[in-house]
Amino acid sequence: MKFILQYLKEYKWYATLAPLFKMLEAIFELLVPLVVASMIDKGIANADRGYVLRMGFVLLALALLGTTVSITAQFFAAKAAVLSTGRMRADVYDHIQSFSDAAIDQVGTSTLITRITSDLNQVQGGINMALRLFLRSPFIVAGAMVMAGTISWKALCLFAAIIILLSVLVAGLMRCTVPMYRQVQRRLEGLLTLARENLEGARVIRAFAIGERERDEFARRNEGLFETAYGAGRLQSYLNPATFVLVNLGIVVLLWRSGAAVNAGTLTTGETVALYNYLSQILIELVKFANLIVQITRAYASVGRVEEIMEIVADERRHGERAAGADKYTAIQFLNVTFSYNKSEKALEELSFSVPQGTTLGIVGGTGAGKSTIVRLLRHAYDVTAGEVRLFGLNVDSISDEDMARLVANIPQHVELFAGTVAENLRLGNPDASDDELITALKTAQAYDFVMEKGGLPAEVRKGGANFSGGQRQRLSIARALAVHSKILILDDATSALDAATERELLKALREDTEKTVVIVSQRSNAVKNADRILVMDGGWCIGGGTHEELLAGNDVYREIVEAAQ
């Protein structure tokens, strides 16, 4: 509850005015039975047509006033719900942006998407309903009981008994359905995870002809989600019928006892109609309140899930302090670095190497050798298990994310381009880059010619770069990194889609910048053979280091990689 209140307090006027206007509407509604009773006892009983018409106009005025204040209350409730949830969603998104890769791996992308969309939509609906009905419905129920008590204390006892029974029923259903809705959201996350994996790996699924297996798994998870949601819905479906049964039984008892009282002269016909109207109001409001409880139950479960994300400790590197002892001549240092993604298996063990500024380092090895892990630790996507990683003499723990983004440009194998123009994509890392700087970056990345053919910097880029080939997307990504003017450039298998001639020209152009330190990660020896130094990785260990000629003469693993590429 505190989590929601800290956002609602920013819109306290909306959140306050909405229930106040709803209670004003309730007051008008509670006056209606009294007006009807007066119309019957004084107007109809005495055949006073003028009095009946006057009371009719009073009812019409109450209806118009009630409608006006109701619309106003709806407006304020919607504003409070949408604005507060919008801020909440922005804060959750901003918090997620501070997560390290390790935190994202732990939580899961599909989970984060569900929390920031489905769960927050549930919270928004719960806030809206609560502001409209949480005070209004109890106020009308209590007001109807008080008004009924002024007419007959026996009716008051009947109303109290009905409300107590319904309260017990609602509390029992809430106790059962809250855990079920949490389970519904968890199963929804699992289904979204599977759907996301299938969409991203559609080609692999077709290549290995495992579509039937994936369909069966989707059907199984979908069936589990259906059963859980159906069970929760079935329990909640008992709420409205039970409410109608209890209240209508109360109406039967009321009419039975009131009829006898009218015959005895202790109760008038108008008062009986008023009591019936008050009990009907209680019925309607209890049904509304029951639905509100259902909405709040789902919102409560979703709030808890959103809070779980916000309680994850943000990556403190966003506000890192610079360490002393900077070394501008040594760009990269790994000092006895050991790292594991889990406690059972090490991805790197006691790795040590250094890279002088302005040189090129090649990292080569087979799948699972630890190449990409080195890149992740270098840009501080993960914290090392043991040892230390330094950039220009600074421990990466002391470098903020903003500084790291300016210091290190990483180009992964799988490129992400966004819908817009070429210029907009190239300026993602450096919004202030001039057109001349972008042109220079395109030329260095060997992307200038095809970009000009498509219309130059204003050329359209479709979502994911769908209107460019794989090699063109990689070169655009490299140009985007070059536009940042970072001191360290990492090519993590980022030339895998390029032909040999283009790759050769690209690497040659990168080596001409003597101020930039380049790290080339690849499974192919051709990509790294001209590097100043090459590391050969195998099973998390560095089993060799040197130039192409030195490794070719004295390292069997490197020799096998070279022979495989020929």
* Adjacent-strand bridge partners of 545: 535
Structure tokens at 7: 């956002």
Interval 278-313: pLDDT, tens: 877 877 777 777 777 777 877 887 888 888 888 887
Q: Which of 259-268, 311-320, 380-389 has the highest mean pLDDT?
A: 380-389
**Residue indicated by tokens 């152009």:** 509
Contact 402, 318 (CB under 8 A): yes
Taking each helix axis as running N to C, give the angle between helix 435-444 and helix 500-511, from 0 to 180 degrees, rounded to the nearest 10: 120
Instruction: Give the pLDDT band of residue 326 (cuts 50, 70, 90).
Output: low
| Cα 23 to the center of its chain, rounded Å | 35
**pLDDT, average across residues 116-130:** 87
Instruction: Give the pLDDT band of residue 317 (cuts 50, 70, 90).
Output: low
Share the mean pLDDT of the chain: 84
pLDDT reported for residue 438: 93
Per-residue pLDDT for 98 more than 70? yes
Q: Which of 98-112, 187-201, 356-370 has the highest mean pLDDT?
A: 356-370
**pLDDT, average across residues 17-43:** 85
* Adjacent-strand bridge partners of 491: 411, 520
Contact 18, 82 (CB under 8 A): no
| Cα 52 to the center of its chain, rounded Å | 58
For 60-69, 125-134, 382-391, which range has the lowest pLDDT when averaged over its residues? 125-134
What is the share, in percent, of the chain residues with pLDDT greater than 70?
96
CA 432 to CA 104: how far, in whole Å? Answer: 30
pLDDT reported for residue 327: 59
Contact 476, 426 (CB under 8 A): yes
**pLDDT, average across residues 416-437:** 91
3-state secondary structure 479-543: HHHHCCCCCEEEEECCCCCCCHHHHHHHHHHHHCCCCCEEEEEECCHHHHCCCCEEEEEECCEEE
pLDDT reported for residue 318: 47
pLDDT reported for residue 489: 92
SS3 126: helix
Cβ count near 236 (within 10 Å):
21
Contact 411, 375 (CB under 8 A): no
pLDDT reported for residue 328: 66
Contact 259, 121 (CB under 8 A): no
pLDDT reported for residue 235: 80
pLDDT reported for residue 241: 81
Q: How far is CA 31 from CA 59, 155, 544, in A?
A: 9, 18, 90
CA 397 to CA 387: how far, in whole Å? Answer: 12
Closest by alpha carbon to 446, among 492, 389, 512, 373?
A: 512
Interval 472-499: pLDDT, tens: 999 999 999 999 988 999 998 888 888 8
CA 113 to CA 103: how far, in whole Å? Answer: 14
List of domains in the chain: 2-314 (1.20.1560.10), 330-565 (3.40.50.300)
pLDDT reported for residue 233: 82
Dihedral sign, CA of 425, 429, 430, 435? Answer: negative
Instruction: Give the pLDDT band of residue 423 (cuts 50, 70, 90).
Output: very high
Max Cα distance, the chain (Å): 119
For 6-10, 49-53, 258-262, 534-538, which range has the lowest pLDDT when averaged over its residues? 258-262
Per-residue pLDDT for 325 more than 60? no
pTM beyond cutoff 0.85: no
Kind of pairing between the strands at 330-339 and 386-391: antiparallel
Give one DSSP letter per residue of 141-155, joined into a string: HHHHHHHHHHH-HHH
**pLDDT, average across residues 372-389:** 89
Q: How far is CA 283 from CA 238, 247, 278, in A?
A: 15, 6, 9
Interval 191-243: pLDDT, tens: 878 887 888 788 788 888 888 888 998 999 999 889 888 888 888 777 778 77
Closest by alpha carbon to 478, among 445, 518, 451?
A: 445
Per-residue pLDDT for 119 more than 70? yes
CA 97 to CA 90: how far, in whole Å? Answer: 11
